[in-house]
């Protein structure tokens, strides 16, 4: 077989597992009448203008060859003739292809450049582009015989029979970078260990192909998003920045671990776009008060769904966006002034704890919906000083004071929970029994913020199901006088 060298190809060589290596790109190849842009003359390939620049491949130049019914359906690129690529442990490659017939495409890596014995590692993937450019991804993770230094990239553009001449266009052959979280490869991260705001790089992909070695095809499924989900701690990761990553069949896999997690991406996904922010906007933001929230970068939301209930009357709230009374099912809302005094307001700014004065009851299942909101940055799980808003569920309210629906002050305790998007007082005066709204006093109730009384004992140490007669009881480990 005659081998003809590349006239000019500029390579982006991998310096780490997360960097991309371009093996061949029509934009950087030139051709004369005596060569084939670096490819073997098998199939008689030529460098041509891209026939479809409005598709996913925007480049000006690409490779073309013609499959024929006599078995001519393969081209081969001997990049070993000008470089020694190093996969650096990467086992996923891709290229662009455009042809008329939908069928499997087979790729063979062979002739290692590091002196190892020759091998032929084959992977097939489906082309379903119907005459349009398609990115075909090949996962060699189950090809045990593959080392890091393949020398030849051969493409059989159709594994089925070719009944008539068919033009095939090929471009942008690359080694896809390893999926990374920060400076660490995704595969090397311990399951359930990721927390806080994380940044992704490399390639994140979902799909399937076939290990085609020895003439026996076996399915290979890959899903970096499912792998990422396994690495997330429960209620621990609050945002994922995947801007700049290379994506295929992307979806939001974070909400199973924390429904409030925010994903920043370069483009919307085909599905599961809740809480996905693209170019500063998300269509739907869904928040749940049983889970933590952190927002490293401000964005806009066309719709916000808040899974949090309201009681008739007074409720404490803290939200990462501005609201008016009607939006929280009230005719009046009030912000903290001093001591236990609140002042009604026409609206409340983002990240400002406040109370509803006369809300209509809403179940958590119903929740509340808001339209067209600017979502402010949230960097702390507690905001404010004397009256504090909560952006992450708390398992203890010891030393804190809640406000019930009648405006009475409720003392917290260890083991008593407070969900996100609520608020509490950190201190009250010795004689305080209730809050004051615009100069009107609203009476002390020594029970929990969420009223989840779990253990009640009388003074004889006998556990009872409920508070009966007046007297002294031990509720959740604390002495309470019932008058």
Domain boundaries, the chain: 21-175, 180-206+221-278, 311-361+379-452, 453-483
Per-residue pLDDT of the chain (483 residues; tens, 9 = 90+): 333 333 333 333 333 445 678 889 998 876 554 567 789 988 899 999 999 999 899 999 999 999 997 778 999 999 888 788 888 889 999 999 999 999 999 999 999 988 888 788 999 999 999 999 999 999 999 999 999 999 999 999 999 999 889 999 999 999 999 999 999 999 999 999 999 999 999 999 999 999 999 889 999 999 999 999 999 999 999 999 999 999 999 999 999 999 999 999 999 999 889 999 999 999 999 999 999 999 999 999 999 999 999 999 999 999 999 999 999 999 999 999 999 999 999 999 999 999 999 999 999 999 999 999 999 999 999 999 999 999 999 999 999 999 999 999 999 999 899 999 999 999 998 778 899 998 766 643 443 444 444 567 676 666 666 566 667 767 766 666 665
Residue 369: the pLDDT is 98
Residue 477: the pLDDT is 64
Listed in order, strand segments (DSSP E) in 309-455 are: 313-317, 333-338, 341-345, 354-359, 368-375, 382-383, 387-390, 401-403, 409-411, 422-425, 436-437, 440-441
Residue 437: the pLDDT is 94
Residue 29: the pLDDT is 78
What's the topology of domain 21-175? Jelly Rolls (2.60.120)
- Backbone phi and psi for residue 150, each to the nearest 5 degrees, phi listed first: -70, 150
Distance of CA 120 to the CA centre of its chain: 37
Residue 79: the pLDDT is 84
For the entire predicted model, the pTM comes to 0.84
The DSSP call for residue 229 is H
Closest listed residue to residue 384, CA positions, set 420, 418, 423: 423
List CB contacts of 462: < 8 A, sequence separation 6 or more: none
The residue with tokens 């801007």 is 243
Residue 5: the pLDDT is 34
């Amino acid at each position: 077989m005659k081998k003809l060298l590349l006239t000019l190809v500029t390579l982006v060589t991998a310096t780490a597992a997360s960097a991309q290596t371009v093996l061949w790109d029509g934009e950087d190849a030139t051709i004369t009448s005596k060569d084939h842009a670096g490819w073997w003359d098998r199939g008689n390939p030529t460098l041509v203008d891209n026939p479809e620049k409005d598709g996913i491949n925007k480049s000006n130049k690409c490779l073309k060859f013609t499959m024929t019914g006599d078995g001519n359906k393969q081209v081969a690129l001997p990049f070993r003739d000008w470089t020694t690529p190093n996969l650096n442990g990467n086992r996923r490659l891709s290229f662009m292809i455009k042809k008329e017939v939908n069928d499997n495409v087979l790729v063979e890596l062979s002739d290692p450049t590091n002196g190892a014995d020759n091998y032929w590692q084959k992977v097939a993937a489906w082309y379903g582009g119907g005459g349009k450019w398609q990115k075909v991804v090949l996962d060699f993770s189950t090809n045990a015989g593959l080392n890091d230094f393949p020398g030849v990239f051969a493409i059989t553009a159709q594994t089925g029979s070719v009944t008539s001449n068919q033009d095939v266009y090929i471009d942008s052959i690359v080694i896809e970078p390893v999926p990374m979280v920060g400076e660490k490869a995704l595969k090397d991260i311990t399951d359930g260990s990721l927390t806080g705001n994380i940044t992704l790089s490399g390639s994140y992909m979902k799909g399937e192909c076939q290990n085609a070695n020895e003439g026996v095809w076996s399915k290979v499924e890959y899903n970096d998003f499912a792998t990422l989900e396994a690495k997330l701690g429960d209620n621990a990761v609050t945002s994922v920045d995947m801007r700049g990553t290379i994506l295929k069949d992307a979806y939001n896999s974070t909400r199973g671990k924390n429904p409030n997690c925010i994903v920043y991406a370069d483009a919307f996904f085909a599905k599961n776009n809740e809480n996905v922010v693209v170019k500063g906007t998300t269509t739907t933001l869904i928040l749940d008060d049983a889970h933590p929230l952190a927002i490293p970068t401000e964005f806009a939301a066309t719709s916000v769904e808040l899974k949090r209930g309201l009681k008739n009357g007074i409720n404490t709230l803290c939200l990462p966006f501005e609201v008016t009374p009607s939006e929280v099912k009230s005719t009046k809302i009030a912000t903290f002034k001093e001591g236990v005094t609140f002042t009604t307001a026409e609206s409340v700014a983002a990240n400002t704890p406040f109370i509803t004065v006369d809300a209509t009851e809403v179940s958590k299942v119903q929740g509340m919906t808001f339209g067209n909101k600017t979502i402010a940055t949230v960097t702390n799980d507690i905001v404010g000083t004397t009256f504090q808003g909560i952006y992450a569920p708390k398992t203890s309210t010891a030393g804190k004071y809640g406000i019930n629906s009648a405006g009475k002050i409720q003392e917290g305790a260890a083991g008593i929970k407070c969900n996100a998007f609520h608020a509490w007082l950190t201190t009250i005066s010795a004689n305080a029994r209730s809050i004051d709204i615009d100069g009107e006093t609203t009476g002390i109730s020594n029970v929990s913020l969420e009223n989840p009384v779990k253990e009640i004992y009388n003074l004889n140490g006998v556990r009872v199901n409920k508070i009966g007669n007046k007297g002294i009881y031990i509720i959740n480990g604390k002495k309470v006088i019932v008058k």
